[in-house]
Amino acid sequence: MFEDIPVDVSPMYEGERIRSANMFVELAGPKSMGAELVQVEEDVEDGKIEIIGPELDAMQEGDIHPLGILIEIQGEHLEKELEGVIERRTHELCNYVKGFMHLNQRDAIWCRVSKEALAAGFKLEHLAKTLSILFKEEFPLIESIAVTIMTEPAKVEEFVSKAKDQYQTRDARARELSDEDVDVFYGCVMCQSFAPTHVCVVTPDRTALCGAINWFDCRAAAKMDPDGPIFEIEKGDVLEEVKGEYSNVNTMVAERSQGTVERVYLHSVFEYPHTSCGCFEAVAFYIPELDGIGIVDRDFRGETPLGIPFSAMAGQCSGGKQVEGFTGLSLEYMRSPKFLQADGAFERIVWLPKEIKESVKDYIPEDMWDKIPTEEDVSGLKEIRSFLENKGHPIMERSKIVQSETSEDEAEVAVEEETSLMEGIQMEGGPMAPVAYAPELTMPSSGGVKIIFKNAKVYAEKVIIKKNDKP
């Protein structure tokens, strides 16, 4: 069925990475704009394919172009509530195409085309045709499908605005339900081609990390495709209500993560935070010098208060790793009444990019709005601390309590047998960067050794313990 497509099409190409050295062009991504949208319509011309804007053979190597992917579908039993479910599969199906890389979702998509694909004669019209075939194959409910791909900047800009309105409508519907209203959560393993041990747990109060799938979407997906990547999880016993720990969630996550992850707190960055894939919209990260939490999204271009950009931070906690002090999340989760409730919610947030802060303005408590700084207010830890003190941020009172209980010069290392602190803690790739933070971390070592770090920083290549560590 893909005989007219000049490159291979197969699930075996999922997870293919196209590095800059092998890249012909980049589409959408952090340096441009883009979106993808599935719409259920009443009158769709089956097989219609349209390219609006420059085709690949009209682009220059190294170019960066905007990208819009509109998929219109029709079917007797198709309902509007299935749009988000089907749309999310765009990520998976695009990656079936050899030489085409698709990352993220919604208006955060980031795609690349390889030099080899271009040399083989691959065009965007081939991508559109492939998607039309794969979607009908994956979803028998689809009777007619039309695919439009846009690279014309003005058209893409208009399309992105329309897509965002649709996303907002879907998300608003999901906010009407809470975790207590249901007996079933959902799991999603769609990202395991990139993050083999990641299991995304979706509840009414916690949308998927990608921001593209809510509880209603998952319910529809599980009913439509019981053997698909989205499945039911009976809640089971509530083990930690505030932290969001459930017996059956732990069981299912352990099973689906190949035993790598045994416990998950849905509403905390400490102890057993939710694993992160790579498609998450933002990262929540602990700042030990302030005992507070910062949040950064993939659109933020500067450095975080930890001194590293989003890309470096994402690299340390993505791939399905469970790293204490870090967790990927969707921006929609910040609108949830259970947003990091175990950690203090917005009263624990000490830094946000201005764009995120504005987007969730209606969900930040009124008395906290002026107390949370952005990159326009502060540029370093000392400035953040001064800002928090001047504004009377609750974290400063919390710090006083902690200091009264623990002297500033305390740095305890309890070792049951002699071991080297400079060996054995390694993470793959990237520059040395903090990968775990907490007031106290308990880390097992070989031979049953337990090491307790207080007020410590754990880095990718070594452990540093500092006394009187101040910003």
How does pLDDT run across 262-317, given as a tens digit for each residue?
999 999 999 999 998 878 889 999 999 999 999 999 888 888 988 888 888 888 77
pLDDT at 455 exceeding the cut of 50: no
The pLDDT value given to residue 314: 81
The pLDDT value given to residue 406: 45
User: CB-side exposure of 150: number of CA atoms within 13 Å?
Assistant: 19
The pLDDT value given to residue 65: 97
pTM of the model: 0.64
Residue 51, beta-bridge partner list: 149
The pLDDT value given to residue 399: 61
Question: Positive or negative CA dihedral for 223, 173, 336, 181?
Answer: negative
Residue 412 CB neighbours (<10 A): 12
Residue 203, beta-bridge partner list: 206
3-state secondary structure of 409: coil
3-state secondary structure of 60: coil
Q: How confident is the model at residue 67 (pLDDT cuts 50, 70, 90)?
A: very high
The pLDDT value given to residue 14: 82
The pLDDT value given to residue 81: 80
pLDDT at 237 exceeding the cut of 50: yes
Work out whether strand 110-114 and strand 100-103 pair parallel, antiparallel, or are unpaired: antiparallel
The pLDDT value given to residue 400: 60
Say which residues have a Cβ less than 8 Å from residue 333's Cβ, sequence separation at least 6: 206, 207, 339
pLDDT at 431 exceeding the cut of 60: no
Report the alpha-carbon distance of residue 335 to residue 55 in Å, rounded.
39
406 or 120: which leads in pLDDT: 120
Lowest mean pLDDT of 131-140, 185-194, 457-466, name the range.
457-466
Q: How confident is the model at residue 163 (pLDDT cuts 50, 70, 90)?
A: very high
The pLDDT value given to residue 379: 86
Q: For 319, left (φ over 0), alpha (ψ -120 to 50), or beta?
A: left
The pLDDT value given to residue 308: 85
Q: Are 93 and 111 in contact (CB under 8 A)?
A: no
pLDDT at 33 exceeding the cut of 50: yes
Q: Cα-flanking dihedrals φ and ψ of residue 207, to 5°?
A: -70, 165
Q: Are 14 and 92 in contact (CB under 8 A)?
A: yes
Q: How confident is the model at residue 51 (pLDDT cuts 50, 70, 90)?
A: very high
26 or 170: which leads in pLDDT: 26
Could you give all domains of the chain from N- to C-terminal order, each with its CATH number? 11-174 (3.30.1650.10), 179-405 (3.40.1470.10), 413-464 (no CATH)
pLDDT (average), residues 79-92: 85
Report the alpha-carbon distance of residue 93 to residue 71 in Å, rounded.
13
Q: How confident is the model at residue 122 (pLDDT cuts 50, 70, 90)?
A: very high
Lowest mean pLDDT of 9-23, 36-50, 120-134, 148-162, name the range.
9-23
User: CB-side exposure of 289: number of CA atoms within 13 Å?
Assistant: 18
The pLDDT value given to residue 385: 94
pLDDT (average), residues 49-67: 95
Q: How far is CA 218 from CA 64, 86, 228, 408, in A?
A: 34, 11, 11, 48
- Token pair of 335 as six digits: 């609108």
3-state secondary structure of 292: strand
Q: Write out pLDDT tens, residues 330-384.
A: 999 999 999 999 999 999 999 999 999 999 998 999 999 999 999 999 988 999 9
Report the alpha-carbon distance of residue 264 to residue 266 in Å, rounded.
6
- Token pair of 333 as six digits: 């989760």
Mean pLDDT value across the chain: 83
pLDDT (average), residues 25-38: 93
Cβ burial, residue 416 (10 Å; 0-12/13-18/19+): exposed
Report the alpha-carbon distance of residue 415 to residue 412 in Å, rounded.
10
pLDDT at 17 exceeding the cut of 80: yes
Say which residues have a Cβ less than 8 Å from residue 451's Cβ, sequence separation at least 6: 413, 414, 415, 419, 421, 442, 443, 444, 445
What secondary structure does DSSP assign to 90-115, as a single string?
A: HHHHHTTBTTEEEES-GGG-EEEEEH
Q: How far is CA 265 from CA 189, 270, 272, in A?
A: 18, 8, 5
3-state secondary structure of 437: strand
220 or 431: which leads in pLDDT: 220
